[in-house]
């Protein structure tokens, strides 16, 4: 006799309205409470969707790595296609593999090492701008850092100065707002509805298309000999398309996805680092001491990266508490079994690094900020998939090394030269968008050390 399928526990159907409100207003609480009330495997019915939320390293390994071919991008990514198109974040199958093959070489270690000087130059400009603001007048350091990360991506991936396009930041914001709106409403609001976000999105989409066309026209008119940046590789790759409209759409989608996802995640990590370290002054002093020991008065170079051991521990702990990729959604192609529970074909499956990184079985005092937990001597017995700030499996974040190098050098140079104090009374709220942002920004006052 065939044994019945095991179904994960979860809230009753009558809880749908409350769950919809939480999906819109407090997605992190929805995930945290589901795990706390029902355990590592939870089945949640929200309107027409049935979500399977898994919160154990073995579950993450099964879905993201061991049986990754059975799981395509899921809820949120599907609805976000209208905003992000078919870029690396949302595409599937052969298109995704082609995009990955096109872009992967740009992120090889040798080429990333060659970009260290660009990052250091932009970080030095940031330190100078913040240093000029000392004297008690608050400055939103998150806004400054976001500008830095976008500028670094422009120079390292496109060999272009994105500072010439003043509207690009606002356009990215509108595109991200639309992506999250589509996720919250599960794609059920038609594009023709005259909603303010949708009007702003259409304007932003047209602006980003215009910027991409200008970047491509400039590069085509002034090709770089033996250039191996993303823009040059995409121009070559999309030249194979017979329909110029398809080529243009691919170029736009891939560049928007890379720039939006790339600069947002790194800016969030740096922002959360500044916020958490401000609450733990002893960590800030240790960061300062390491930066002085490693660098003295000089600027860092790529060989210095491995010397920032404590800085790496701090960044790892920041990304544990506030992972840049806070949720990973998938849709099961065929039926599967995860952690002993049946997952029907077509089901929406969620792996949430935010809650996985706070699992009490794998993290002592999981809500406490403790960089020392990433001392190499304390990490030997931790399951590999208990910590996945950049995802896992075939879709592991392609730009993680560039982002970590950027965050390391920026933090080292900031803490060596400046003291940044959060403005008293300012409240920071985690804002789970495409990355886990600091809602409300981060106003600080600046002093030279």
Residue 92, CA distances (Å) to 71, 100, 143, 290 in order: 10, 11, 33, 43
Mean pLDDT for 195-201 is 78
Dist CA 393 CA 271 (whole Å): 27
Mean pLDDT for 107-118 is 86
| pLDDT recorded at residue 80 | 65
Structure letter (DSSP) for residue 370: -
Could you report the per-residue pLDDT of 27-83, keeping only the tens digit for each?
898 899 999 999 999 998 877 778 999 999 999 999 999 999 999 987 766 656 666
| pLDDT recorded at residue 184 | 67
| pLDDT recorded at residue 187 | 64
What is the band of 188 on the pLDDT scale with cuts at 50, 70, 90?
low
Mean pLDDT for 89-114 is 80
Residue 21, CA distances (Å) to 41, 48, 322 in order: 22, 15, 22
Phi, psi of 190 (to 5 degrees): -60, 155
Residue length, the chain?
449
Cα torsion 224, 226, 231, 234 to 10°: value is 130
Q: Evaluate whether 422 touches 442 at the Cβ level (below 8 Å).
A: yes
**Kind plus residue range of the DSSP H or E element containing 11:** none
How does strand 49-54 pair with strand 348-351? parallel
| pLDDT recorded at residue 78 | 64
Mean pLDDT for 212-232 is 80
- Among candidates 328, 342, 284, 271, which has minimal Cα distance to 310? 284
Mean pLDDT for 306-335 is 95
Q: Report pTM.
A: 0.91
Q: Evaluate whether 169 touches 260 at the Cβ level (below 8 Å).
A: no
Q: Which residue has the higher pLDDT, 3 or 279?
A: 279
| pLDDT recorded at residue 2 | 45
- Among candidates 398, 336, 434, 257, which has minimal Cα distance to 69? 336
Dist CA 280 CA 336 (whole Å): 44
Q: Which tokens belong to 122?
A: 């932009």
Q: Which residue has the higher pLDDT, 356 or 164?
A: 356
CB atoms within 10 A of CB 165: 18
Mean pLDDT for 113-139 is 90
Which domains are assigned to the chain? 13-448 (1.10.630.10)
Average pLDDT in the chain: 87
- Among candidates 389, 247, 251, 231, which has minimal Cα distance to 316? 389
What is the band of 371 on the pLDDT scale with cuts at 50, 70, 90?
very high
DSSP-based three-state secondary structure for 286? helix
What is the band of 1 on the pLDDT scale with cuts at 50, 70, 90?
very low
| pLDDT recorded at residue 186 | 64
What is the band of 106 on the pLDDT scale with cuts at 50, 70, 90?
confident
Phi, psi of 448 (to 5 degrees): -75, 145
Long-range CB pairs of 429-435, under 8 A, 24+ apart, other chains included:
430/28, 430/322, 432/27, 432/28, 432/326, 432/327, 432/354, 433/176, 433/180, 433/264, 434/176, 434/179, 434/180, 434/260, 434/261, 434/264, 435/261, 435/264, 435/265, 435/268, 435/324, 435/325, 435/326
Mean pLDDT for 137-154 is 91
Dist CA 304 CA 404 (whole Å): 13
Dist CA 167 CA 204 (whole Å): 9
Range with the lowest mean pLDDT among 155-159, 254-258, 324-328? 254-258
Range with the lowest mean pLDDT among 194-203, 284-293, 401-410? 194-203
- Give every CB contact of residue 162 below 8 A, 6+ residues apart in sequence: 150, 151, 153, 154, 168, 259
Burial of 371 (0-12, 13-18, 19+ CB in 10 A): buried
**Is residue 85 scored above 50 in pLDDT?**
yes
**Is residue 144 scored above 70 in pLDDT?**
yes
Q: Which residue has the higher pLDDT, 382 or 1?
A: 382
**Is residue 155 scored above 60 in pLDDT?**
yes
């Amino acid at each position: 006799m065939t044994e019945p399928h095991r179904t994960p526990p979860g809230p009753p159907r009558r809880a749908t309205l409350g769950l919809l409100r939480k999906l819109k207003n407090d997605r992190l609480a929805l995930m945290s409470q589901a795990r706390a009330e029902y355990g590592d495997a939870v089945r949640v019915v929200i309107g027409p969707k049935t979500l399977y939320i898994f919160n154990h390293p073995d579950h993450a390994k099964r879905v993201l790595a061991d049986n990754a071919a059975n799981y395509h991008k899921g809820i949120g990514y599907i609805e976000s296609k209208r905003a992000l198109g078919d870029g690396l974040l949302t595409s599937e199958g052969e298109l995704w593999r082609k995009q990955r093959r096109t872009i992967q070489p740009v992120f090889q270690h040798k080429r990333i090492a060659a970009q260290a000087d660009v990052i250091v130059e932009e970080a030095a400009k940031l330190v100078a701008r913040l240093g000029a603001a000392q004297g008690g007048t608050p400055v939103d350091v998150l806004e400054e850092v976001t500008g830095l990360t976008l500028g670094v991506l422009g120079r390292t991936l496109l060999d272009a100065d994105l500072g010439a396009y003043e509207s690009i930041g606002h356009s990215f914001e509108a595109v991200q707002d639309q992506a999250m709106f589509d996720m919250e409403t599960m794609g059920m609001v038609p594009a023709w509805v005259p909603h303010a976000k949708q009007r702003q999105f259409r304007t932003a989409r047209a602006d980003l298309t215009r910027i991409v066309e200008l970047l491509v026209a400039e590069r085509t008119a002034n090709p770089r000999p033996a250039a191996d940046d993303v823009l040059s590789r995409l121009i070559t790759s999309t030249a194979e398309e017979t329909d110029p409209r398809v080529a243009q759409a691919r170029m736009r989608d891939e560049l928007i996805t890379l720039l939006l996802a790339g600069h947002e995640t790194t800016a969030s990590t740096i922002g959360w680092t500044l916020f958490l370290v401000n609450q733990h002054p002893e960590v800030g002093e240790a960061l300062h001491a390491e930066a002085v020991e490693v660098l003295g008065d000089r600027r860092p170079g790529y060989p210095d990266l491995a010397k920032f051991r404590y800085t790496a521990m701090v960044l790892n702990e920041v990304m544990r508490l506030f992972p840049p990729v806070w949720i990973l959604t998938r849709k099961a192609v065929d039926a599967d079994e995860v952690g002993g529970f049946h997952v029907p074909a077509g089901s929406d499956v969620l792996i949430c690094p935010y809650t996985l990184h706070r699992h009490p079985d794998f993290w002592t005092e999981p809500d406490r900020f403790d960089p020392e937990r990433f001392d190499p001597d304390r990490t030997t017995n931790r399951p590999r998939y208990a910590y996945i700030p950049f995802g896992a499996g075939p879709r592991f974040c392609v730009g993680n090394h560039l982002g970590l190098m950027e965050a390391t050098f920026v933090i080292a140079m900031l803490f060596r030269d400046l003291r940044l104090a959060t403005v008293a009374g300012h409240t920071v709220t985690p804002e789970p968008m495409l990355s886990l942002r600091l809602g409300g920004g981060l106003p600080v006052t600046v002093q030279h050390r």
